[in-house]
Structure 1
Amino acid sequence: MRKVSKIPLVAVIAAALFGGLIYLLAWSSIFTVSSITVTGSPTPESQSAITQISAITSGEKLARVEPQAIEKRLLHLKWIESAHVSRNWLDGAVEIVVTPRTPTAIFNGSTIDASGTIFTLPGFTTADLPRVSAKTPALGLAAIKVFQDLPREFQRSVVSLTARNSSNFALFVDVDGRNVQILWGAHEETALKIEVISALLTLEENKKIRRIDVSAPHAPIVK
């Protein structure tokens, strides 16, 4: 007669413990989400977008909160540069930390950062950013560099910039309520060009000009 092998007591206890652990994590009300914290969202609208996409709810089982899956979904939002999601098994707290991209200009109607990434940041006001028009993000960044190298006082008068190619930039500036086009040319001799523009604008005969060409700053043209 064949003997029936007995399952070791240790294995039975281990299986019971494992089953109990699975129950506690997946079904018990002990390990649930007690709070959700979002850090790094620059506007209330962006925080709302993060909360919605993360799809985490208070009272949800912690075991069902998948940090990596949530991070991947958040990174589909182009205005987020990085995202980290963590969960605390002791107090049930879930923390979402994001690093938003920093807008440097309005590029063809959208926001662009220093890396050339184009994105839309919910709730972001663009009043203090230069407006840039160009065929490619690379040219847009080149135009932004032209703007950043301008004296701070002159920057305040710049309404928008355009870039046709890497040596053909143009600025539109506000001069006493008039929109004046500055044909800048290549990104060079910035200090001299600003000096020439300032001198031309102080002349009485130039009070109504609409265009200044300083692409060749030693021989400027006004119109």
Structure 2
Amino acid sequence: MSERLAERKRTERRRALARFGRWAAVVAVAAGALWAFFMSPLFALDPAKVELSGMSNEIDATAVTGVLASHDGESLALLNVPHVADQLRDIKGVLDAKVERVWPAGLRVTLVARHPVAAIASGTGFALLDADAIQVGLADQAPADLPLVTVPVGDNRVLAAVLEVIRNLPADLLGKVSGIGAQTEDTVSFDLKGGPHVEWGSSGDSALKAQVLEVMLASPSAATAGVIDVSAPTLPITRAAG
């Protein structure tokens, strides 16, 4: 009986050791897989595998390269992708950024650039502004393809009203604007290349005002009008200059 009990205990120990061995093997495999996923060079960010699109002259390319280079070699699994996108959005000329992992070791980075929509006198040159009044460039002379903005110095509310009008003008109409300005938020006006002068008023109802202005410009009276007033778009008027 004692021999049978001893044998039974030895069998149970062998089974326990076998179970422990199997669990140890599973844990080792899992640990190896985790190491490979999080720490292996196989999943380390490779700068040669970064796909970058959306660059433009307004974006600081050196700064973009610097942000991406600061993450070279980091585990793609551990990389804080939203943080990288925020870093890119802080770069001059970047409106938005989207960052996606491309396994096993790459990134897909898509940038949206800020583009100038107007120029404004600044010092001895001209600051190029986007639709949010963010400076995206400088020029020695006013660019021929951008409207020149004139507003009271330092009045951000009036500047915002002017840029709101620019943002709502159809592209073909905006291309004809040579200069635009205002003294108050409700007195926006602009000059079209070759005339006439347009009194726009506030930035409210800009979509309707644009439609009315295009109709009036196509009418015979526009050829002799010095001023077209669409500040009250349901009652537009034309008059001689001055």
In 2, distance between residues paired with 1:25 and 1:44?
Answer: 38
Identity within the alignment, % = 13
What's the counterpart of residue 190 of structure 2?
171
What are the Cα deviations for residues 50-95 of structure 1, in whole angstroms up to 9, with x where unaligned?
A: 2222345555543453322212222334732341221311xx2222
The answer as to whether partners of 1:46 and 1:121 remain within 8 angstroms in 2 is no
What's the counterpart of residue 162 of structure 1?
181
Query: Which of the two has higher C-alpha Rg?
Result: 2
Q: 1:167 to 1:56 in 2, by over 3 A?
A: same
Which of 172, 179, 182 is residue 197 of structure 2 equivalent to? 182
Give matches, 1:87-98, under 5 Å. 87-89=102-104, 92-98=105-111
The answer as to whether partners of 2:146 and 2:178 remain within 8 angstroms in 1 is no
- Relative to the length of structure 1, the TM-score reads 0.61
Q: Residue type of the partner of 1:182?
A: H
Q: Report SS of the residue matched to 1:62.
A: coil
The answer as to whether partners of 1:31 and 1:62 remain within 8 angstroms in 2 is yes
**1:220 corresponds to 2:232:** no
What's the counterpart of residue 128 of structure 1?
145
Q: Which runs of 5+ in 1 are unaligned?
A: 201-211
In 1, distance between residues paired with 2:237 and 2:160?
Answer: 25
**1:112 corresponds to 2:130:** yes
Q: Residue type of the partner of 2:82?
A: Q
What's the counterpart of residue 8 of structure 1?
20
Q: 1:14 to 1:69 in 2, by over 3 A?
A: farther
Give matches, 1:1-223, under 5 Å. 8-34=20-46, 35=48, 36-43=50-57, 45-56=59-70, 58-77=72-91, 79-89=94-104, 92-101=105-114, 103-106=116-119, 109-113=127-131, 117-121=132-136, 128-134=145-151, 135-136=156-157, 138-144=160-166, 147-148=169-170, 151=173, 155-156=175-176, 158-165=177-184, 167-172=186-191, 182=197, 184-186=199-201, 188=209, 190=213, 191-192=215-216, 198-199=223-224, 214-215=228-229, 217-222=237-242
In 1, distance between residues paired with 2:116 and 2:58?
Answer: 17
In 1, distance between residues paired with 2:42 and 2:164?
Answer: 56
Q: Report SS of the residue matched to 1:19.
A: helix
In 2, distance between residues paired with 1:73 and 1:168?
Answer: 39
Q: Which runs of 5+ in 2 are unaligned?
A: 1-15, 122-126, 230-235
Q: CA deviation at 1:161?
A: 0.4
Aligned length: 196
In 1, distance between residues paired with 2:69 and 2:96?
Answer: 20
- Relative to the length of structure 2, the TM-score reads 0.57
RMSD of aligned C-alpha atoms?
A: 4.3
